[in-house]
Chains A and B, each alone.
Chain A
Amino acid sequence: MSDFYAANLVLIQSTFIGILLALSVQVPMRAGVFSFAGAGSYGIGAYVSAILVLKTGMPSLLAILISGIVAMVVGLLLGLLVAHLGGLYLAMATVSFDLIVSVLAINGGDLTGGVTGLFGVLSDVTIFHLIGLALLGIVGVALTERGRVGRRVDAVRDDPELAQSVGISVRRYRLAAFVVSGLLGSVAGSLNSLVRSTISPSDIGFSLIVLALTMIIVGGAQSWKGAVLGAVIFTWLPPLLAGFGQLQHVVYGVIVATAAIFVPGGLYGIYSEARYRRTRAKRKPPQGEAPAHEQALAISVPNGDAGRSA
């Protein structure tokens, strides 16, 4: 076990970072906000933490906290800026945001270390910090899928007009999605810099957006479970595919394309659909409806009230 741990330490660390990154895209997607700003927030977290630790020697957790706050504020501003956009336009605007963060990193001079980035970010982040923060992220996101908040997020995604008519401020929920995504992405980026002790623009570019999106498409966007599944798969799959040599990119591409085309809900979608079918099959007459309806009337109107109005 400890042999496995030692041999795969980098992948194990990446798994927890990947989970937070995937959640940062899953949270807005679930609210119907097609934002990939999580990748940009990852860049903000990665650089702000690295700079804070390098220049001030600040404790890691404090640096993570401060960069998280910075990314939440940026997320809020971005959310306000693109509030009127939807669908593809919103997606493009947030991709642009991610690329702007990259450009800033490349052109940041001494502060960001330009193309070569920053090195020697020494920190005391351990695997326990990674596990703890990833768990915190999972629990927080899982909560937003429960009870009243969970229902309201569903309504904001599925039918914003209906949501408003039952008192939900769609605008506020959408903004919250940007802020939460900012925090999650930032913590993922911070942890990456602090664990690897280095950060460069190549870590936060377009490939990061693709990675995050891949995790969500294959894992499923409706639940944190899909994000976790996707993060685990796409952290561990590439090294496994190394055996395919030249072909590995093709195999990778085929997996992603297959999932996108044939499994729109991702792996979690398959699971939840199967579970729903099972409970539906157990119910008495599902599609027939007429007998089910008669039954319902018999239950609620024992004294033949239905007959009177017929």
Chain B
Amino acid sequence: MSAAEATATRPVLEIRDLAVHFGGVKAVDRLSMRLDEGRIYGIIGPNGSGKSTLLGAVTRLTPLTSGEILFDGEPFHTVHASQIAAKRIARTFQTVRLLPDVSVRDNIQLGADAARGDVDERRGWWARNFGTHTSPAVASAIARTRLGGFEDYRPAEMSYGTQRRVEIARALALDPRLLLLDEPTAGMNQRERGEISTLLKELRDEGLTQLLVEHDVQMMVDTCDYVFAMNLGTVIAQGRPEDVVRDPQVQEAYLGKKFRHA
């Protein structure tokens, strides 16, 4: 590593000239991003601008058409979707995806099951695979997302907002280095949003790099260190959140009057 590189902040994730096309639909096109360690990055953009597709490409669920993704400086496109958890990348989904027939505790444990370096690693093979214990990471994820008391509930018994917190808890139980959140506060009330924002900032202060997709502009301004504005699959503006949301191009393109009145 050269001296210049050593002094610069290390990019955790680097996306170069990414394209993801579905037939004729250019969901993501000529998109580049750089995420440094320990910061919260936001993505705003109208419906269909390619935000979820981008997260899908990073988590390897969606094949790339062209371009490069580097994680920790290493090419990422040969990594299989099921190996990203081992690289400590965790995500939540835009539509809540929880196992319907198991408890909140077991849903979150699913994340901890993937974690490396957990105390569980030191258990025997047998206990780790067939034991019915709950990892300490699960208890801490439950506490952080304020799900205490819900452990034995099943997803369908809880409100949408609470289900979303279970998704976040599952991602946290994986002990991630990079956390990708696809509209984590959709369906939550104002107070819950505030709680999630506070939680994400706490996590950032502990060094967790985050990429947050949200439509709530005020929350993005309150939460993010840096924001990318997307439209038609590519980044049209980036920088400090206050600047990006005031960018005339961004406002005219899709925030429209809604934001100017806010």
Binding-face segment, B24-32, B78-86, B239-247: B78-86
Closest chain-B Cβ to A143's Cβ sits at a distance in Å of 5
| A299–B61 alpha-carbon span in the complex (Å) | 38
The answer to whether B128 has its CB under 8 Å from any CB of chain A is yes
Q: Is there an interface contact between A166 and B110, defined as CB atoms closer than 8 Å? A: yes
With contacts A143-B130, A146-B130, A148-B129 known, is A155 near B174, CB below 8 A? no
With contacts A158-B99, A289-B157 known, is A297 near B130, CB below 8 A? no
Q: Is there an interface contact between A154 and B101, defined as CB atoms closer than 8 Å? A: yes
With contacts A143-B130, A310-B194 known, is A151 near B113, CB below 8 A? yes
The answer to whether B146 has its CB under 8 Å from any CB of chain A is yes
Over the window 271-310 of chain A, the binary record of Cβ atoms lying under 8 Å from chain B Cβ atoms (1 yes, 0 no) is 0000010011001001101101101110111000010011
Interface size of B in residues (CB-CB distance below 8 Å): 50
Binding-face segment, B1-9, B12-20, B148-156: B148-156
In the complex, number of A-B residue pairs with CB atoms less than 8 Å apart: 119
The answer to whether B185 has its CB under 8 Å from any CB of chain A is no
Closest chain-A Cβ to B48's Cβ sits at a distance in Å of 20
Chain B: interface secondary structure? Answer: loop
Q: Is there an interface contact between A167 and B128, defined as CB atoms closer than 8 Å? A: no
Q: Which residue of A lies closest to B93 (CB)?
A: A162
Q: Is there an interface contact between A289 and B158, defined as CB atoms closer than 8 Å? A: yes
Which B residues are CB-close (under 8 A) to A162?
Answer: 93, 97, 99
Q: Is there an interface contact between B59 and A165, defined as CB atoms closer than 8 Å? A: yes
Over the window 144-186 of chain B, the binary record of Cβ atoms lying under 8 Å from chain A Cβ atoms (1 yes, 0 no) is 0011111011100111001000000010001000000000000
Q: Is there an interface contact between B152 and A279, defined as CB atoms closer than 8 Å? A: yes
Q: Is there an interface contact between A310 and B191, defined as CB atoms closer than 8 Å? A: yes
Chain A: interface secondary structure? Answer: helix
| A301–B159 alpha-carbon span in the complex (Å) | 20
Question: Given A146-B132, A147-B131, A310-B191, 20 other A-B contacts at CB below 8 A?
Answer: A147-B133, A151-B110, A151-B113, A154-B102, A155-B110, A158-B101, A159-B97, A162-B93, A166-B111, A166-B170, A166-B174, A169-B80, A276-B154, A286-B157, A289-B157, A292-B158, A293-B159, A296-B147, A296-B150, A309-B195
Closest chain-B Cβ to A102's Cβ sits at a distance in Å of 36
Q: Is there an interface contact between B153 and A283, defined as CB atoms closer than 8 Å? A: yes
User: Which residues of chain B have a CB within 8 Å of any CB of chain A?
Assistant: 59-61, 80-86, 90-91, 93, 97, 99-102, 106, 109-111, 113-114, 128-133, 143, 146-150, 152-154, 157-159, 162, 170, 174, 190-191, 194-195, 198
| A146–B132 alpha-carbon span in the complex (Å) | 7
Q: Is there an interface contact between B157 and A161, defined as CB atoms closer than 8 Å? A: no
Q: Which residue of A lies closest to B61 (CB)?
A: A161
Which A residues are CB-close (under 8 A) to B162?
Answer: 289, 293
Q: Which residue of B lies closest to A294 (CB)?
A: B149
| A301–B101 alpha-carbon span in the complex (Å) | 29
Pairs of residues from A and B, 10 with the lowest C-beta to C-beta distance, nearest first: A167-B85, A167-B114, A309-B194, A296-B149, A164-B81, A300-B148, A310-B191, A164-B82, A147-B130, A169-B82
Which A residues are CB-close (under 8 A) to B154?
Answer: 276, 280
Q: Is there an interface contact between A287 and B157, defined as CB atoms closer than 8 Å? A: yes
Which A residues are CB-close (under 8 A) to B60?
Answer: 164
Which B residues are CB-close (under 8 A) to A309?
Answer: 191, 194-195, 198
With contacts A154-B101, A283-B153, A299-B149 known, is A164 near B61, CB below 8 A? yes
The answer to whether A152 has its CB under 8 Å from any CB of chain B is yes
With contacts A149-B129, A149-B130, A154-B99 known, is A165 near B149, CB below 8 A? no
With contacts A154-B101, A158-B100, A289-B162 known, is A167 near B157, CB below 8 A? no
With contacts A148-B129, A161-B61, A300-B143 known, is A306 near B195, CB below 8 A? yes
Which A residues are CB-close (under 8 A) to B157?
Answer: 280, 286-287, 289
| A36–B96 alpha-carbon span in the complex (Å) | 32
Which A residues are CB-close (under 8 A) to B109?
Answer: 148, 151
With contacts A147-B129, A167-B114, A309-B195 known, is A296 near B148, CB below 8 A? yes
11 cross-chain CB contacts under 8 A:
A147-B129, A148-B113, A154-B99, A154-B102, A167-B86, A168-B114, A292-B158, A296-B147, A299-B148, A306-B191, A309-B194
Q: Is there an interface contact between A165 and B81, defined as CB atoms closer than 8 Å? A: yes
Which B residues are CB-close (under 8 A) to A151?
Answer: 99, 102, 106, 109-110, 113
Over the window 218-232 of chain A, the binary record of Cβ atoms lying under 8 Å from chain B Cβ atoms (1 yes, 0 no) is 000010000000000
| A282–B167 alpha-carbon span in the complex (Å) | 25
Which B residues are CB-close (under 8 A) to A306?
Answer: 191, 195
Closest chain-B Cβ to A60's Cβ sits at a distance in Å of 30
Q: Is there an interface contact between A297 and B102, defined as CB atoms closer than 8 Å? A: no
Which B residues are CB-close (under 8 A) to A276?
Answer: 154
| A293–B157 alpha-carbon span in the complex (Å) | 11
Over the window 140-182 of chain A, the binary record of Cβ atoms lying under 8 Å from chain B Cβ atoms (1 yes, 0 no) is 0001001111011011001101111111111100000000000
